[in-house]
Amino acid sequence: MKPATLPQAFAILLRRDLTLAYRRRSEIINPLLFFVLVTAMFPLGVGADPALLRDIGPGIIWVAALLAALLSLETVFRSDFDDGSLEQLLLSPHPLSVLMIAKVLAHWLVTGLPLLIVAPLLSILLHLSDDAMHTLLITLALGTPVLSLVGAIGVALTVGLRKGGTILSILVMPLYVPVLIFAASAVANSDAGLPVNAHLSLLAALLVLATSLSPAATAASLRISMS
Amino acid sequence: MNHTYTAATLEARDIACIRDDRTLFDKLSFTLEAGQAVLVEGRNGSGKTSLLRILCGIRQPDEGTIHWNGGDIYRLATGYNAATAWVGHKDGIKLELSAEENLVFARSLGTPSGLEISDALEAMELGGFDDVIAINLSAGQKRRLALARLLVTRSPLWILDEPFTSLDTHGISLIENMINIHLADGGMLAVTSHHPVGLDSADITRINLSE
């Protein structure tokens, strides 16, 4: 028999991770619940003044998305590291960086995509205009994959450490800042009726950059962590 | 399992392993050819696992090189990975997946041997456990599932770290039998074990890291 081709191995790994995510649903629900709860608490905390909520809404949603992403990051490699599956991945005859794309894609599908689905509800809660809601969805679609891709590098570097969580936040948060700035100000601009093309182009550029560089960096970081 | 492997050579040249400023071993050289086994012995903490992790390429030796058919394994990289199978301390199976799903995944990460998954489970006396989620298996059964990976993929070099952990005497003889067939086929083996390994082959290199 011939060895599995790379696309087959990619598909099998993606399916495995999605199956695993489905079988431990509570792990996925947690970041999503966090995202919804944090956003929903703000009107209670700062008062239900529509003008105020419209001003701070884009920032709130994006900060919550950022923290939700950070909360879910460790699940990318933690269980694979604990049960030894990561060693098997490392020793497969397939290029590790391509397998990393499958892992990050699976992570985004179960943690990033759900944020996009609930975001319209949250933008209604924060009195954002229809235009702003539209822009919010585009920024989430462009931005959350960047969070997963960049986060994966950080997790790969810290997975071998006993208490990697704190270092992970410190390592990854500064890299999330550009996404936060461009995404939140795009939504705010759109609410004020200003053009947002420049912001969206920059977010798209960040996504392209992260997609092309992160898999190789993640693979290299994992090799360092495991040795 | 009627296949024979093409002849290959694994050669360690003056390898050393240093951990936390402590030299576990140095100037270690050996050659492993088709049908031969290397048995790594030594006390706890003498570097047995480190040596095996170096041999499969997870860890780099602090000095020296390892060659597969004359080529440095770090140059060969994924080409070398295709020739090796590793079962370490950790079973490397996903507890939320069934026995069959685990082996389907393992097979996609190597060269399939052509052996059906149900037959591999049968050979490991896990027949009928195909759909059982691995978390419901006993420790010994999990270990046998991990070792079943060796049957569904076709790798000339098996690197096994304490393969007999949590196996009963029957399970141990099962694995010994599997290893002996592998060696008779022209396969190669690097193994650490606290239990004596019952190998038919006379071609065994013993490396004691405590001496």
Q: In the prediction, which pLDDT does B1 show?
A: 42
- Give the side-chain half-sphere CA count within 13 A for B185: 20
Token readout for B191 is 């193994």
The crossing angle, in degrees rounded to 10, of helices A113-125 and A130-158 is 140
Rounded CA gap, B127 and B148, in Å? 12
For testing the chain A interface, which of B81, B96, B137 should be mutated: the one with the most A CBs within 10 Å? B96
Pick the CATH number of B1-83+158-211 from 3.90.1170.40, 3.50.50.60, 3.40.50.300, 1.10.10.10: 3.40.50.300
The crossing angle, in degrees rounded to 10, of helices A50-73 and A96-111 is 140
Which helix (H) or strand (E) element contains residue A17?
helix A6-23
Q: In the prediction, which pLDDT does A1 show?
A: 59
- B115 interaction partners in chain A (CB closer than 8 Å): none
CB contact under 8 A, A3 and B101: no
Q: What average pLDDT does the segment A176-193 reach?
A: 93
Q: What average pLDDT does the segment A18-42 reach?
A: 91
Rounded CA gap, A164 and A169, in Å? 9
Task: Evaluate if residue A197 carries a pLDDT over 90.
Answer: yes
ipTM of the complex: 0.89
3-class SS string, chain B: CCCCCCCCEEEEEEEEEEECCEEEEEEEEEEEECCCEEEEECCCCCCHHHHHHHHHCCCCCCEEEEEECCEEHHHHCHHHHCCEEEECCCCCCCCCCEHHHHHHHHHHCCCECCCCHHHHHHHCCCCCCCCCEHHHCCHHHHHHHHHHHHHHECCCEEEEECCCCCCCHHHHHHHHHHHHHHHHCCCEEEEECCCCCCCCCCCEEEEECCC
CB contact under 8 A, A8 and B108: yes
pLDDT in tens, A116-166: 999 999 999 999 999 999 999 999 999 999 999 999 999 999 998 877 788
Q: What are the mean pLDDT values of chain B's consecutive 10-residue runs (211 residues total)? A: 72 91 90 91 89 92 92 87 91 93 91 89 91 93 94 93 91 92 91 84 83 75
Q: What average pLDDT does the segment A30-45 reach?
A: 93
The residue ranges of every structural domain in chain B are 1-83+158-211, 94-155
Q: In the prediction, which pLDDT does B100 show?
A: 94
CB contact under 8 A, A20 and B97: yes
Q: In the prediction, which pLDDT does B51 show?
A: 93
Is B129 within 8 Å of B141 (Cβ atoms)?
yes
For testing the chain A interface, which of B108, B150, B159 should be mutated: the one with the most A CBs within 10 Å? B108
DSSP A126: T
Q: In the prediction, which pLDDT does B3 show?
A: 52
CB contact under 8 A, A90 and B58: yes
Number of H helices, E strands in chain A: 10, 0
| Chain A residues near any Cβ of chain B (below 8 Å) | 1-4, 8-9, 12-13, 16, 19-20, 23-24, 79, 82-85, 87-95, 226-227
Q: In the prediction, which pLDDT does B79 show?
A: 86
pLDDT in tens, A48-94: 898 999 999 999 999 999 999 999 998 899 899 999 999 999 999 99
CB contact under 8 A, B58 and A82: no
Q: In the prediction, which pLDDT does A189 show?
A: 92
Task: Tell me the average pLDDT of chain A.
Answer: 92
Q: In the prediction, which pLDDT does B2 show?
A: 44
Q: In the prediction, which pLDDT does A160 show?
A: 86
pLDDT in tens, B49-102: 999 999 999 999 999 999 999 889 988 888 899 899 999 989 999 999 999 999
Q: In the prediction, which pLDDT does B7 show?
A: 81
In degrees to the nearest 10, what's the CA dihedral of B68, B73, B78, B82? 30
Q: In the prediction, which pLDDT does B48 show?
A: 92
